[in-house]
Amino acid sequence: MFNKLKARWKVNTVSLVLVITTFALGGSLCGYAGRKLLLLTGLERGFIWILLYILLVTILWPVCVLLISIPLGQFTFFKNYIVKIGKRIARKKNIDKSTTIKLAVFASGAGSNAEKIIAASKNGLQAKYYNSIKDVIQNEKDSLNWEVALIVCNKANAGVIQIAMDNNIPVLVIEKERFIKADNYLPELKKHNIDFIVLAGFLWKIPEALIMAYQKKIINIHPALLPKYGGAGMYGSKVHEKVIAAHEKESGITIHYVDELYDHGEIIFQAVCTINDTDTAETLAQKIHALEHTHYPVVINSLLQKQNDS
């Protein structure tokens, strides 16, 4: 338990003891102060007295803890801790009041990543995944209200379309001329109130007008460790074949913002898998898919959380 607390609060053993001591002494002080203040009211112990006592303790606790933290050298920790609690309460209130964030998933193929993202939006995120990307996640237990509101596909027979139909999600099948040179389907995205775009195996280059309309709100997942093995024509099995041919010892996934160039935008997150001497492009693809399915929904949630906080 203590090791988990040290990791969660990012403190050493001595600091952990001082933090726990501050919690205990601060709690005792606010309880004592609450009783003393109630004595001044002349109320007898009863239901109203208990309610007022709980209210006073709730109000006094941050003040008492901060006071105790000063001589114990833990003021900075508890100031940040109390601010974090306040932000979390405010954020939950905002989430309750706000509308659901709507995502469009762009895909060209079978749609396995899209399926995982849809499942995460409907059923929530599995907590066991958080530890593996704790540097990306700021608030492990928080989750926004978001949904996949539209599937965008450039192939009328792609498997992702059936996944969308199974989940009662609208599908927009696009054609290249309009996507690249005309209105970029921006009116359709606005019609569905799309707030954020996720590329999940989408093979066309995103036009500049769409990038400008959704600045820092379009992300992609690439099946290699960028900047290696990226660029035009580097997708799917072609990437894995290149990696195997180069006798790399590691590969992985890269989640990045989308800009005007293929596989070029700012890197958000990477996860690594090892490559054995017996691996082929097919077995490497299986490892990469496992990383994609594990991490992509969680990183999406984290990015939406950060944007909501800013």
Distance CA 265, CA 283 (A): 28
Distance CA 180, CA 159 (A): 23
Distance CA 226, CA 220 (A): 12
SS3 breakdown of the chain: % helix, strand, coil, rounded to 5? 55, 15, 35
Strand order in the sheet with 250-257: 171-173, 146-153, 101-107, 196-199, 218-222, 250-257, 267-274
Where along the chain do its domains lie? 2-94, 98-309
How many other C-beta atoms lie within 10 A of the C-beta of residue 80? Answer: 11
The strand pair at 250-257 and 267-274 is best described as antiparallel
The strand pair at 218-222 and 250-257 is best described as antiparallel
pLDDT (tens digit, 0 to 9) for every residue of the chain, 310 residues total? 777 777 777 888 998 899 999 999 989 999 999 898 888 888 888 888 989 999 999 999 999 999 999 999 999 988 888 887 877 676 555 545 457 899 999 999 999 999 999 999 887 765 444 444 444 444 444 456 899 999 999 999 999 999 999 999 999 999 999 999 999 999 999 999 999 999 999 999 999 999 999 999 999 999 999 999 998 888 889 999 999 999 999 999 999 999 988 888 999 999 999 999 999 999 999 999 999 999 999 999 989 888 776 6
Model confidence, pTM: 0.66
Amino acid at 98: S
Fold category of 98-309 in CATH: Rossmann fold (3.40.50)
Q: Which residues are catalytic?
A: 222
Q: Which backbone phi and psi does 288 adopt, to 5 degrees?
A: -65, -45
